[in-house]
Chains A and B, each alone.
Chain A
Amino acid sequence: MIINHPLLGPRDAQEFTYLGDANLLNRPNPDAPDAAERFYEYLYLRDNPAGLHRELWYHEQGDRSWLVVTRNTLTHEITKVELARDVARAAQAAGESA
């Protein structure tokens, strides 16, 4: 797979480390009254879709940036690559989860 890095251009997926569903950006509030339940869901439960999947990749052998990659889990086709930083900031500005 080739990941089209927003800053560095097309890079081999071997340079990256995979983390998983991009929902991991949305860490629950640890002070919320239902924090234990929310963290259980955050840590362990996954949508695990067959089709488009937004996921976190870390450019470990490159510029060490975190990316949000939109990839089809049925075909491995990558349709969108964003800097995780931008995704998180945009969500923060909009006041919602990423």
Chain B
Amino acid sequence: MRYSGFHVIWEALTGHKGWTPAWRDPAPQSDYDIIIVGGGGHGLATAYYLAKEFQQARIAVLEKGWIGGGNVGRNTTIVRSNYMLPGNEPFYEFSMKLWEGLEQDFNYNAMVSQRGVLNLYHTDAQRDAYTRRGNAMRLYGVDAELLGRDQVRAMYPFLNFDNARFPIKGGLLQRRGGTVRHDAVAWGYARGADQRGVDIIQNCEVTGFRITDGRIAGVETSRGYIGAKKVGVAVAGASSRVMAHAGMRLPIESHVLQAFVSEGLKPLIDGVITYGAGHFYVSQSDKGGLVFGGDIDGYNSYAQRGNLPVVEDVCEGGMSLMPNIGRARLLRMWGGIMDMSMDGSPIIDRTDVDGLYFNGGWCYGGFKATPASGYCFAHLLARDTPHPTATAYRFDRFRKGLMIDEKGMGAQPNLH
């Protein structure tokens, strides 16, 4: 079934009796050509692009719980490509371009909204750093505008421009950045993959890898053994746990990052704002809730919930940036588990086991990367060579000292 405006009207007039499930619920076959472990955004995108762009068949996605139940449903929905380093910027811009055509591509309404991402600066030094970042972005053909104080004031007059300690001096704006309805990304990719023959198998936890003579043979799961020629693991948050089944230790620590939604308010913020002097970033959902977040809690955790000191810190950051939210009530808060890699950048690479591939270490920036991550991982799985935009995301960069230290921080040094 192809979704369209006409289809919605037709169903509305005929009692909505024609809708069918968006994807099947197949039982696992005895073996596949390619198995993707992890039915989150990245895993589903990988399966989708494998089937669509790389003409692969006999693909399965194995998901421990239900698809989209992990970090793809727990983030703050922001997409942007305002990176600086050569290893990063082409990749995130590739992702941005995929976001721009995504809904037409997979025929699903993901509510891609390029409402602009504004990073505020508060000192001369910070302005210089943002000038440099903006110039680096423009060298890669990415849009970036350095705004002065008056231009920011015209956009967001309610911000606390005259804060005695951190006055707002201006901001770096990427107009093509914005937000995307995160659950719909997982659902759209799932539906698109399913239509192309991918088996999406939920409630199927991978409990081990079967490896013979240094080559992957298949995966042990809670629903029995499934053979595979190639296995791709995309389980950010649980990467260390899953790869431990293959005897690997990763350059990753799992940390918890919290996010928050306020009660619904009238339209206030039409873009995304990040505070340059504290850990706070905010946008407003179409339902009116302010969606915001801040730091990781800063200690290893798999608990999917954080502690109150960070809640207080984030709300203090919000109050010092925009005091007008002081009477808004918090509606919900939650935590997601981040793969904090040691240099703050991701990994899309082969492993020491033939036919076993890894995608993870996304820190707290995985959502914006979803399309490119899926595309590049599919490229690696199908052709066994990295996609040109993802050549730097290798395991051995730590051993060789080729870190991609965009901000010079991974799990440490507590600068989040």
Chains A and B bind each other: yes
Q: Which residues 238-254 of B have a CB within 8 angstroms of A?
A: 238, 240-241, 249-254
| Of A25-33, A42-50, A87-95, the one touching chain B | A42-50
CB distance from A20 to the nearest CB of B (A): 7
- The CA of A75 and the CA of B304, in the complex, are separated in Å by 10
Q: Mark B230-268, 1 if CB is under 8 A from A, else 0.
A: 000000001011000000011111100000000000000
Q: How many residues of B contact A (CB 8 A)?
A: 23
Q: Which listed residue (A19, A20, A46) contacts B240, Cβ 8 A?
A: A46
Interface of A is mostly: mixed
Q: Is B288 interfacial (CB-CB < 8 Å)?
A: no
Q: Does chain B have a CB within 8 A of A35?
A: no
Report the count of interface residues on A (CB-CB < 8 A). 26
Task: Evaluate contact between B252 and A48: CB separation under 8 angstroms.
Answer: yes
Q: Which of B302, B398, B411, B412 contacts A74 (CB 8 A)?
A: B302
Q: Given A13-B307, A18-B299, A20-B300, are A45 and B251 neighbors across the interface (CB < 8 Å)?
A: yes
Q: Which of B241, B250, B298, B412 makes the CB contact (< 8 A) with A50?
A: B241
Give A12's nearest chain B residue, CB to CB.
B309
B307 touches A20 (CB 8 A): no
Q: Which residues of B sit under 8 angstroms from A18, Cβ to Cβ?
A: 298-299, 414
Asked whether any CB of chain B lies closer than 8 Å to the CB of A59, the reply is no
Q: What's the minimum C-beta distance from A40 to chain B, rounded to whole angstroms? A: 5
Q: Flag whether A97 is at the interface (Cβ < 8 A).
A: no
Contacts of B299 in A (CB 8 A): 13, 18, 55, 71
Q: Chain A residue with minimal CB distance to B241?
A: A50
Q: Which residue of chain B is the closest to A37 with respect to CB atoms? A: B399
Q: Evaluate contact between B249 and A45: CB separation under 8 angstroms.
A: yes
Residue from A1, A48, A75 in contact with B253 in the complex, judged by beta carbons closer than 8 Å: A48
B301 adjacent to chain A (CB < 8 Å): yes
Other A-B pairs, 14, CB within 8 Å; known A18-B298, A46-B250, A48-B300:
A1-B307, A12-B309, A13-B307, A18-B299, A18-B414, A20-B412, A21-B253, A40-B399, A46-B251, A48-B253, A50-B238, A50-B254, A55-B299, A71-B299
A–B pairs, 13, beta carbons within 8 Å: A12-B309, A13-B299, A14-B309, A18-B298, A19-B412, A21-B300, A44-B251, A44-B399, A47-B240, A48-B300, A53-B300, A55-B300, A73-B302
List chain B positions with a Cβ less than 8 A from chain A. Answer: 238, 240-241, 249-254, 298-303, 307, 309, 342, 398-399, 411-412, 414
Across the A-B interface, give the 8 residue pairs with the lowest CB-CB distance, nearest first.
A48-B240, A44-B251, A44-B398, A45-B249, A50-B302, A18-B299, A14-B309, A44-B342
